[in-house]
Chains A and B, each alone.
Chain A
Amino acid sequence: MSDNTISDIQAGVGEKRSPRATSFADHPLVQLTLVRFLEFVREPEALFWVFVFPILLAVGLGIAFRNRPADVLRIAAVTPELAQSLRQEKLLEVQQLDPQAAQEALRTGKVALLAVPGSSGGVEYRYDDTNPEGRAARLLADRAIQKAAGRVDPVATTDQLMRETGSRYIDFLIPGLLGMNLMGSAIWSMGFAIVDARRKKLLKRLVASPMPRPYYLLSFLLSRILLLVVEVGALVGFGALLFHVPVRGSLIDLGAVCLLSSLSFSALGLLLASRARTIEAASGLMNLVMMPMWIASGVFFSSQKFPDVMQPVIKALPLTAVIDALRANMLQGANLAQMAPQVAIIAFWLVICFALALKLFRWR
C-alpha cells in the first residue's frame, strides 16, 4: 500500500555520491516529515482512533438521537368508542386493548397514555405526568375527545411547519466531535511519538547527528497538517453526506480554525511530552489534561449546563473555544471576525504552550 508509493518517491532520487544533496526529497525537513507520516500510517491502531472512531461515534449518537419525522404518539383505549374518537387525531396512533393488556402496555412504556371510560360518562386518562410524551399525549387525546363530543374552537388556527437542519442533535454533535478529534489526535500523536523516541534514546541519537533541532519539531506540525486535511474532511464530509449537517460558514475560515486549533493542541502535546520519560507518565498527564475538557467543553452537551461560577474557566479552556468557533462557523455561518474571541483564546494557548515547551523540552 503506502510503502510502494513512498519507495517510489525514494527511488526517484539519485543515490550518487554528490557532496551536496540538493534534491527536494532529501531535504532533512522533508525526510523527517515523511518518516513521521510513515510511522503514523504504519500504526493501524492510530488510524482507527483518528479516523474510524469519531465516525463510529457520530453514527451511533446520530442514530440514538435522531429526530423522528413528526413524532406519532402511541396510546391505548379500552373501548371501541373511545378508540374511534381518538383516531380522529392524526398525531396519535391508537390501539384498542383489553383493560389488562392496556394497563401492561402503559406500565412498560409501549403506550404513553391509556384512555378508559370514567364515571358518569366521562373519560379518564392514565399517564405519567413526568414523561413529556405522556403530557403531550394527554393534550392531543383530550382535544380529540372534546372535538368528537362537539366542541368548537372559538379561534380558527392554521399550522405552518418549519423543519430546519442545523438545530438537531447531530448538528450540535459533529462540530463537538471534530473539536474533540482535533485535540485528541494532536496531543496523542505528539505526546506518544516524542516520549517513545526519548525512551528509546532515539531523540538523543538524533541530536547527536547534525539534524537541525527545530526541524524535528516542525516535522510533527507538518505531518499533522497533512493528516488534518484527511481528518477534518472525513468527519465533516461524513456529517454532510449522511446527516446533512450544514457548513454555513466559509470553508476557508473552517480550515483556518481547524489549523490553528491543531497547532495549539500540538503545542499543548509538546508541552505535556517535554519531560516525561515513560509512556505511562505521559499518558497519565495527557488524560489529566484532556478529561476535564471532554466533559466541560461541550462535546456532547452544551457547556452552558455547568453553573455560572464555572463558566469563565470553561470558556477559557482551549477545547471550549475550538468547539464554540466550529459551531459558530458550521451552524451559524460566522466568519473569522465574529469568532475573534475564540480565535484569540486558541492563539493564546498556542503561544503559551509553545513557549513553555521550548523552555522545558529535554532531548534526552
Chain B
Amino acid sequence: MPEIASKSALRVRDLRKTYKDVVAVDGLTLEVQAGECFGLLGPNGAGKTTTVEICEGLTPPDSGEVEVLGRRWSSDAAELRQRLGIQLQDTQLSEKLTAHETVRLFRSFFRQGAGADEVIARVQLEEKQNSRVGDLSGGQKQRLALACALVGDPDFLFLDEPTTGLDPQARRQLWDLIEEFKRSGRSILLTTHYMDEAERLCDRVAIVDHGKEIALGAPRELIASTCAEQMVEFTAGSVSHALDVPALRRIQGVREVRTENGSVLMQVSELHTAVPALLAELTRQNVPLTELRTHSATLEDVFVTLTGRHLRDE
C-alpha cells in the first residue's frame, strides 16, 4: 500500500458529502496515478462536481480523506494551491479585461510558471490576447480558462466539464490542448458527461451515479466487460401483434435486448452473424423494419446497461 501511495497523484477514501437532505457524494474512493488522465463520468447531479471541489480544497467533506500529490488540505493548503491547475465548471472571467490581462493576473499568484505570452500561445489565443473576455467565443473562453489553470505550471490539473456547451470543432481543439498537457507526464482529473470525451482523453474512468462509483477501469475494458462489442438498434413498423422479444434473445450471439421509446436495442458480439439472424427472425414474426442502425458499444452503453438510464437524462 505505501508503495502505491507514493505513485498516486490523488487518493480519495470513503468520501461523503450531504447537502441538506441530498446525498451528493456517498462513500467514494478513487485513486489517480501519477501521469494518468482519470475521468469521472456520470450524469448531471451524480456528484462529480462536488467530488472535484472537495479534491480542490474548495468544499470540506463531511467525512473521508483526500490526499493530493501526497499532501493534505488541512496542513499544506498554500503549497498545494501553487501546484494545482484548476478549471471550474462555468466560471465567468471578468468581461472587462483582455485575455492577456486575465492570464497575467493569474500568473501573478504563482511562484513559478511560464509568462503570460507563452501560456496564451500554448492555448492558441495570440490573435485574441488583446480582446476583451466579453468578446470571446465560448471555445475561446474555455481555452482562456485552461490558460489560467496552466499558468502556474501545475503538477495536477483539475478540469470540470471543460467542453460542455461547445461546438464540435471547439471541443476537438480543447482535447488537443489537454492531450498536449498529458504528454508532459502530469496528472489530470477530468469530469464529463460526454462519453466520447472520456474515451478519447482518459486512461481510466470511474462511472459515478448518485454519488457512488458503479464502474471503474480503462474505457475499452469497461465496454468489453460490461457490454458486448456491438450494438444493434432497430425500429419496427406498426403491426397488429406485439414483437416477440424473447425470440430475439434466443438469437445466437445476442447478449441483451431492451426496448426503449418504441425502438429495440440489442447487444451482440458478432455483427455479421447477428444482423442476418435478426432479419430472418423479424421476417418470421412478420414484422416490417423501418430503421436499422449499428454502432460499436460506448461508455454510454455501459452506463445504460448498468443503470437503465442515459447519461444525459436529467
Contact = CB atoms under 8 A, between A and B. Distances in A.
Contacts of B84: 208
Given A10-B101, A202-B91, A208-B56, A26 B81 contact: no
Interface in A189-228: 197, 200-202, 204-205, 207-212
Contact of A207 (B58, B104, B113): B58
B81 A210 contact: yes
A94 to B, nearest CB: 63
Given A16-B115, A204-B88, A205-B91, A38 B108 contact: no
B112 A201 contact: no
A26 B100 contact: no
B109 A210 contact: yes
A202 B92 contact: yes
B78 interface: yes
B135 to A, nearest CB: 12
A20 B81 contact: no
B130 A7 contact: yes
B109 A209 contact: yes
Contact of A201 (B91, B97, B110): B91
Which of B84, B104, B148 has the most C-beta atoms of chain A within 10 angstroms of its own C-beta?
B104
A364 B58 contact: yes
B106 A201 contact: no
B96 A26 contact: no
A209 B106 contact: yes
Given A15-B118, A16-B115, A201 B88 contact: yes
Nearest to A205: B91
B110 to A, nearest CB: 6
Given A15-B118, A209-B86, A210-B82, A38 B97 contact: yes
B93 interface: yes
Given A201-B91, A202-B92, A210-B152, A31 B86 contact: no
Contacts of A43: 96
B244 interface: no
B286 interface: no
B105 A32 contact: yes
Nearest to B116: A15
A38 B112 contact: no
Q: What is the size category of the interface that chain A forms with chain B? A: 20 to 34
A32 B97 CA distance: 12
Contacts of B92: 200-202
B90 interface: yes
A28 interface: yes
Contacts of B90: 201
A200 B102 CA distance: 15
A359 B81 CA distance: 23
Q: What is the size category of the interface that chain B forms with chain A? A: 35 or more
Contacts of B148: 205, 209
Given A202-B92, A208-B86, A19 B112 contact: yes
A31 B148 CA distance: 14
Nearest to A43: B96
B108 A26 contact: yes
A38 B114 contact: no
A352 interface: no
Contacts of B105: 31-32, 35
B117 interface: yes
B94 interface: yes
Contacts of B88: 201, 204-205, 208
Nearest to A210: B81
Nearest to A6: B101
B212 interface: no
Contacts of B48: none
A202 B93 contact: yes
Contacts of B241: none
A10 to B, nearest CB: 6
A52 interface: no
Contacts of A211: 109
Contacts of A28: 108-109
A14 B108 CA distance: 13
B96 A39 contact: yes
Contact of A26 (B93, B97, B107): B107
B200 interface: no
Contacts of B272: none
A305 interface: no
Contacts of A35: 94, 97, 101, 105
A42 interface: yes
A21 B118 CA distance: 15
A17 interface: yes
A27 B57 CA distance: 24
B199 to A, nearest CB: 28
8 contacts: A14-B115, A17-B114, A26-B108, A27-B108, A31-B105, A205-B93, A210-B111, A211-B109
Given A17-B114, A201-B92, A205-B88, 15 more contacts: A26-B104, A30-B108, A31-B105, A32-B105, A35-B105, A38-B96, A197-B94, A202-B91, A202-B92, A205-B148, A208-B57, A210-B78, A210-B111, A210-B152, A212-B109
Please provide the 10 A-B residue pairs with the shortest distance between their CB atoms, ordered closest to farther. A15-B115, A200-B92, A210-B81, A31-B108, A205-B91, A208-B86, A42-B96, A28-B108, A211-B109, A15-B117
